[in-house]
Structure formats: structure tokens, C-alpha cells
Amino acid sequence: MRVRVGTVGGRVAVAAAVAMLLGGCAGAADDDGKTSANPSASGSADASADAEGAAAGDTAKKATAARGGTLGPAGSACELPVSFGVAKDWKPESIDAEKELAQVSKGEDGDLAGELAAAMLRQGPVIAACEIDAKPAGAIGFLRVWKGKPGDADAGGVLRAFIAAQKGAGEAKYHSFKTGGGVPAVEVEYVSTNKLLEETKKERAFAVGTPDGPVVLHLGGMDTGEHEDMLPAYELAKSTLALS
């Protein structure tokens, strides 16, 4: 069973449907393999937390997707503390996580549905702000943007907490770099294991600090193959990201 953070208006209904289908089985994964928060997965992340390095040079050599627009500035599909290029044909959708979480807390769908909805909208210290769908471009997966509260500007710490909150995350390797817009950032490459589906796949994310709070960009995918197919769109975001 896979759950996506899809159309904003239907997200809570999806969570409720999953709750009924799974019964007492908590921890169902979305089509990026993301599950409800669990800090126990941070061991591997800590082991490689001090790896720093040559990511900026490596990024310049990696293929980027054709640019189809810009997200972040006022008037764009998702208004964010950062701006970056979006791959051609990828479809962005803004998420008002605070509003949806408030609706879930007032709903009557049951505890499991609320937990599933919360897991799709919050991960560690950040909440969902924007979801960019790859399906119109022929891939299955999302580039998701998460925001934290002002004052939590330690990008490395926020990213480690983000990974620690993902159940099944392991083999994390961190490094520092600067985005194409000159913003200091920390990136992680890791694998996630979904015991329910008996699947392991690659994922990655990077975080930056802004005056309005930290921002995390995460790339999952239905499986490792889809993840790798979507990497040019992720690299485009890295190579163009600047403060708004």
C-alpha cells in the first residue's frame, strides 16, 4: 500500500482510507517510501555526520534538467524563503501544512488516520510546504520542499533531525556544499528500507538556512531506478537555489 502527499484537498481523505485498509498496521509508506517519524534510525547518520567535502565540484559535473520555471518568489506556485529552477513539465503544488494539520486534529477519522496525515505533513523539525510532481515528465516520484520555524537555521542539524525522523533510513552520508546561488548547504545521500513492502531504495535531500527558517528539499522516488531518473531535476534545484 502506497500513500502519496497528493492533491491538498484530498490528503486527509487518503489517510483515512489507508487507515481503514491497514487496520492496526501503522507505519504505511508513501510512494517515496516515507513513513511516520521514528528517531531510532539516526545511528547510521551519526556515523557519517562529519563527512564534508567536494560536493560543489561534483554537482557542477552532474546533468541538470531543462528548466521549466522558477519556484519561491511571490506569485510563483509555491512561495518560499528560497527560489530555484523547476524541471520542465514537473508540476508544483503548494501545501498549507499548518491548516491541514489543524483540520486533522478536529476530524473524526480516528487516531491512525490522523497519524498518517501528520506523517505526510511533518517530518522532524519541518513541515511540508511544496510538492513537485514528476509524473507529467514521465517519472514516478516527487521533489518535496519542507520548511522549519525561524531561528532554526542550523542546516546540518535540521537535516540530521529530518533523517532521524524517517523510519527505515540508514547508511546516511553527509557533506557540505554551496548551491548555485551561493547558499551554504548540507546534503545527505541514504537508503530507506520499508519492511512492510520489503523494499530498499536510494533517497537524498539537502538543507539550507534562511532568515525565515530552514528549508529542506527531498527527492525520493518509487524505487532506486525512478530516483536516479529524477536526479537531473534535483540537480537543477541545487544548481539554481538562492535566497528569495
Evaluate whether residue 188 is within a structural domain: yes
- Say if 18 falls within a structural domain: no
Domain contains 179: yes
pLDDT digits (tens, 9 = 90+) for 136-151: 999 999 999 999 999 8
pTM of the model: 0.75
Q: What's the CATH number where 72 sits?
A: 3.40.1000.10
| Residue 7 within a domain | no
Domain membership flag for residue 5: no
Is there a domain that residue 25 lies in? no
The mean pLDDT of 198-227, rounded to a whole number, is 93
Residue 16: inside a domain? no
Q: Considering the domain boundaries, does residue 13 fall inside one?
A: no
> Which pLDDT value is given to residue 110?
53
Residue 106 vs residue 91, higher pLDDT? 91
Instruction: State pLDDT tens for residues 72-101.
Output: 999 999 999 999 999 999 999 999 888 887
Please name which of 147, 146, 179, 143 lies closest in space to residue 68, comparing C-alpha atoms: 143
- The per-residue pLDDT for 31 is 42
Question: What's the domain count of the chain?
Answer: 1
**Domain ranges, residue 134:** 37-96+125-243
